[in-house]
Amino acid sequence: MFRDGLLKGKRILVTGGGTGLGREMAAKYLELGAEVFICGRRKEVLETTAAELRARHGGSVKCHGVDIRDAQGVDAMVQAIWDDGGPLTGHVPGPAAGGRGPGAGGESAVRLAGQTIRGVALGVVVTALAQAVWGGVGLAIAGVPYAPVLTAVMLLLCIAQIGVIPVLGSAVAWLYWTGDSTWGTVLLVWTILAATMDNFLRPILIKKGANLPLLLVFAGVVGGLLAFGLIGIFVGPVILAVADTLLAAWIDGAGADEQATDRPPPAGD
Instruction: Examine the domain organization and report whether 226 and 163 are in the same domain.
Output: yes
In a domain, 3, yes or no: no
Task: Report the alpha-carbon distance of residue 91 to residue 41 in Å, rounded.
Answer: 17
DSSP-based three-state secondary structure for 151: helix
Q: Which residue has the higher pLDDT, 95 or 67?
A: 67
Q: What is the CA radius of gyration of the chain?
A: 29
Looking at the fold, whether 27 and 46 belong to one and the same domain comes out as yes
Q: Under a CB-based contact definition with an 8 Å cutoff, are residues 132 and 154 in contact?
A: yes
- Structural domain tally of the chain? 2
- Which domain does 195 fall in, by range? 106-249
Among the candidates 58, 76, 97, a domain finishes at 97
Same domain for 241 and 194: yes
Last residue of a domain, one of 75, 97, 119: 97
Confidence of residue 102 (pLDDT cuts 50, 70, 90): very low
Cα gap 135→222, rounded to integer Å: 22
CA angle, 60 as apex, 48 and 5 as ends, to 5°? 130
Identify the band that residue 150 occupies on the pLDDT scale cut at 50, 70 and 90: very high
Buried b (16+ CB within 10 A) or exposed e, 34-47: bbbbbbbbeeebbb
Does residue 1 surpass a pLDDT of 80? no
Of 21 and 3, the one with more pLDDT:
21
| Same domain assignment for residues 145 and 233 | yes
> Do 244 and 111 share a structural domain?
yes
Answer yes or no: do 76 and 120 share one domain: no
User: Who has greater pLDDT, 240 or 183?
Assistant: 183
**pTM of the predicted model as reported, rounded to 2 decimal places:** 0.48
Residue 266 lies in a domain: no
Please choose, from the candidates 67, 57, 69, the residue with its C-alpha nearest in 3D space to the C-alpha of residue 33: 57
Does residue 17 sit in the same domain as residue 89? yes
CA neighbor of 98 nearest in space, from 252, 212, 241, 211 = 252
Residue 141, C-beta contacts closer than 8 angstroms, at least 6 positions apart: 186, 190
Question: Between residues 14 and 108, which one has the greater pLDDT?
Answer: 14
> Are 257 and 93 within 8 A, CB to CB?
yes
CB neighbours of residue 74 within 10 Å? 19
